[in-house]
Amino acid sequence: MLKNTFCHIPGIGLKTEKNLWRRGVLSWGSPIDAKTLPERARPFFNATIEESIARLDARDLDYFSTLLPPDQQWRLFSEFRNGVAYLDIETNGYSGPTGYITAISLYDGRSVRYYVRGENLHQFKQDIKDYEVVVTYNGKCFDIPFIESHMNIRMRQAHIDLRFILKDLGFTGGLKSCEKKLGIDRGELDGVDGYFAVLLWNDYRRNKNPRALETLLAYNIQDVVNLEPLMVTSYNLKLSGTPFEATHKLPEPVAPAKLPFKPDTGTIERIFSEHSRHYQTV
């Protein structure tokens, strides 16, 4: 889809792009009469197309992610899918100097990587360099700034934040709400949320309960595994109504046959019971 994109060119918005598609200008290689372009875009069009071809050949995602608006970052996905990491973090519930990361999970459509505070969290800094693109939900506002601040690194990957794309498609209410609306079932983890993840970490740290950590990791990993079908569904929905719907549509991804951790239902039930007042009011 990236090679069919013109809305990153100065003077061309989504409406003008659709007009170009209707007139048969479907890709960067399509012949075009300058008269079909709005006057404001004419000085930039050819030069930007040439630059785009060169930048794509060099796999310079930063060029495109800088020019594309947040709700159009999905266009990067199919070209660079083999370099994508679905990413999510859990924290102790605080921000600023008292906040810290408890767990990070990565999923690339083939395998899962996970990192735990006090164990292997430092390895994330090196492992994330294996990827060109990160896909998150609300990561622009939370996950990425938190990682950069608390781990003292710069995340240079292109970033597709599904929050903006799903919102543009009419799906709001948070990650779990979007999953339910799109038919994704969390099974034993249904009802477990970010606040519960903090409680799981506290239970593990204070009570030395390994099942709490396993449940926390099962939850965190489920988040990143579920981002893949959300990304593919969002991509396909965004194609709807374009000339590329039939040719560019992606098949549904295959879920991993087995995940590294299983949630402990006893731990979940006990923590829900201990904090029932909070969950009765939300």
What's the pLDDT tens digit per position in 25-39?
999 999 998 888 989
Do 82 and 54 sit in the same domain of this protein? Answer: no
> Is the predicted pLDDT of residue 65 greater than 60, yes or no?
yes
pLDDT at position 282: 54
Do 255 and 139 sit in the same domain of this protein? Answer: yes
Distances (CA, A) of 263 to 82, 111, 159, 174, 231: 29, 19, 29, 22, 24
Do 20 and 99 sit in the same domain of this protein? Answer: no
Do 102 and 29 sit in the same domain of this protein? Answer: no
3-state DSSP percent of the chain in helix, strand and coil, to 5: 55, 10, 35
Residue entry with tokens 């590329």: 244
Mean pLDDT of the chain: 94
Assign 276 a pLDDT band (cuts: 50, 70, 90).
Answer: confident
Please indicate, yes or no, if residue 260 is contained in any of the structural domains. Answer: yes
Do 27 and 161 sit in the same domain of this protein? Answer: no
Fill in the DSSP letter of residue 256: P
Q: Which domain holds residue 131?
A: 78-280
pLDDT at position 279: 78
Q: What is the pLDDT of residues 37-62, one digit of tens each?
A: 989 999 999 999 999 999 999 999 99
Q: What is the pLDDT of residues 140-167, one digit of tens each?
A: 999 999 999 999 999 999 999 999 999 9
Considering its fold, how many domains does the chain have in total?
2
Q: What is the pLDDT of residues 180-200, one digit of tens each?
A: 999 999 999 999 999 999 999
